[in-house]
């Protein structure tokens, strides 16, 4: 059965675009154009909510708790606000994730997939595998072709993120938010250094295979 996503966005063009994008990727959608309407249509059939902050009537941050009380499903906030303190406030209110407008469609789809997996009743496996790479998050171990890889915390989390989304491009903003957890120290140079180190360590274990692919201007993904 397809997952159903509630889109609460007052701009008709953006709402329709999101609905079309999600339906093309196998989701069912319900659209609302105000906070009040969103609360009215939110029910047992909803699996995730995309919530715009700037809504007529009740703003997005005013209805997060009410949406969670009606049915506790993942809420991904969409906004052009870049202020870190505002993002932190939203997480305190109950938001599960935050994506900054304008966003790349692949990033939104990847965040949706991650949140739906994490909300599933089945516990997620600590073990990840891709080609000749094996990661165990519980023991913080990484193997490539059976050889131990000595990875820093950020290198490990970066590789884990890419492996969890092998068919999608992980955008730079998604990587910063997930791997560096909104730290101000994360920038393009930091990310490039970590990718370079990861590629070198993978190449040392498996000289005949390239694992990480650059998507210029967007981010990185596992090479097929």
CATH topology of domain 4-119: Rossmann fold (3.40.50)
Higher pLDDT, 207 or 123: 207
Q: Tens digit of pLDDT for each residue in 160-179? A: 999 988 888 888 888 887 88
Average pLDDT over residues 3-21: 96
With cut-offs at 50, 70 and 90, classify the pLDDT of residue 135: very high
Q: What is the pTM of this model?
A: 0.62
What CATH number does domain 127-222 carry, 1.20.1250.20, 3.30.420.40, 1.10.10.10, 3.40.50.2300? 1.10.10.10
Query: For residue 70, what are the CA distances in angstroms to 11, 43, 45?
Result: 24, 7, 12
Q: Tens digit of pLDDT for each residue in 45-59? A: 999 999 998 888 888
Listed by start position, the domains of the chain span: 4-119, 127-222
pLDDT of 94 > 50? The answer is yes
168 Cβ partners below 8 Å, 6+ apart? 106, 109, 110, 113, 221
- Give the pLDDT of residue 186: 67
Q: And the tokens for 47?
A: 């699996």
Average pLDDT over residues 121-140: 80
The per-residue pLDDT of the chain, averaged, comes to: 88
d(C-alpha 68, C-alpha 85), whole Å: 21
Are residues 7 and 55 in contact, defined by beta-carbon separation less than 8 angstroms?
A: no
């Amino acid at each position: 059965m397809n997952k159903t996503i509630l889109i609460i966005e007052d701009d008709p063009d953006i709402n329709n675009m999101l609905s079309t994008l999600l339906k093309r990727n196998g989701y069912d959608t319900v659209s609302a154009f105000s906070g009040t309407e969103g609360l009215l249509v939110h029910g047992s059939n909803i699996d995730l909510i995309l919530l715009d902050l700037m809504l007529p009537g009740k703003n997005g941050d005013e209805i997060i708790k009410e949406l969670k009380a009606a049915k506790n499903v993942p809420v991904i906030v969409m906004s052009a606000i870049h202020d870190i303190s505002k993002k932190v406030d939203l997480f305190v209110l109950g938001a599960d994730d935050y994506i900054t407008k304008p966003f790349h469609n692949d990033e939104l789809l990847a965040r949706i997939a991650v949140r739906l997996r994490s909300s599933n009743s089945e516990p997620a496996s600590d073990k990840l595998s891709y080609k000749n790479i094996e990661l165990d998050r519980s023991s913080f171990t990484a193997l490539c072709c059976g050889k131990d890889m000595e990875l820093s915390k950020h290198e490990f989390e970066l590789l884990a993120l890419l492996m969890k989304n092998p068919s999608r491009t992980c955008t730079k903003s998604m990587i910063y938010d997930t791997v560096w957890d909104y730290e101000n120290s994360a920038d393009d140079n930091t990310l490039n250094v970590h990718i370079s180190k990861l590629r070198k360590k993978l190449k040392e274990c498996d000289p005949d295979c390239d694992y990480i692919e650059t998507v210029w201007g967007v981010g990185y993904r596992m090479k097929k």
